[in-house]
Amino acid sequence: MYIVVKRVSKTSEHGIKEYTAEIKIISQLRHKNLVELKGWCHEKSELLLIYEFMENGSLDLHLFKQKSWLTWDKRKRIAYDLASALSYLHEDCKECILHRDVKSNNVMLDSNFNAKLGDFGLARLVDHDKNSKTTMLARTLGYMAPEYVMTGKASKESDVYSFGVVALEIACGQKPIGYTANEERQTTLVEWFRIYMGLELF
C-alpha cells in the first residue's frame, strides 16, 4: 500500500493541538470525498499522521503549477466532490464539523481525478444549530469570509464562502490573492471577479 506521512513540526506552536484535533475528528469519518486517515504515531516526540496516497497531488498543482491540464469535465467533478464533502461534514455527521481551512492545496486528487478534502488540523466540532466559538483566525488569506475576518467566528457559511473561492479558482484559473490590472495593490479573487463582471462591491 502506498501512503503519505504527514510529520507535525516539533517547533509548531499549535502542532500538538492540531495533531490531536486531526485524529479526533477525521478518524471517525468515512466518506468517499475525504482523505482517509490510515493511522498515527506519537513516539519519541514524533507526531506522525498516515494518510492514503493521492496519486495526482493537490488541486493547486494542476491549477497554478501546470502539473496537468484539467478539462472542464474534470473541473466540474472536482467542484461537485468538494461540495459533497462539505455537505457531509456540515449536515450528515452527528456533530457539525467546520473544516476552517478549505483551499485548493487541501483538495487532493486520486488517480481518476476524484477530489477528496484533507488536512483537518484546524477543524472543529460544533452543535448543528450553533456556530464555532473560536476567536482565533485559522485560515489562509484570500479564502476567509469577510464576517469571519471581522468576528473571528467560523461557521458553515464561512466554510461555504471558502468553497466558493475554490470554485472561482477552478473556473477562472486565478489565485485567491492577486494584483489589480495596474499592479498597484493586492486584491482578492472575489473582488477581482466582481470588478471583472461589473458587479458592485458589498
> Going by C-beta distance under 8 Å and a sequence separation of 6 or more, which residues neighbour residue 34?
26, 85, 88, 89, 116, 117, 118
The residue annotated as part of the active site, out of 101, 119, 127, 129, is 101
Q: Which three cell numbers, joined as nine digits, stand for 140?
A: 489562509
Say how far apart CA 55 and CA 195 lie, in whole Å: 37
Q: Which three cell numbers, joined as nine digits, stand for 164?
A: 466558493
> Going by C-beta distance under 8 Å and a sequence separation of 6 or more, which residues neighbour residue 132?
98, 100, 124, 126, 153, 154, 155
Active site residue 101: yes
Amino acid, single-letter form, for residue 124: R
β-strand partners of 161: none
Q: Are 85 and 31 in contact (CB under 8 A)?
A: yes
Give CB contacts under 8 A, 24+ apart, made by 64-69. Answer: 64/104, 64/173, 64/175
Q: Which residues are catalytic?
A: 101
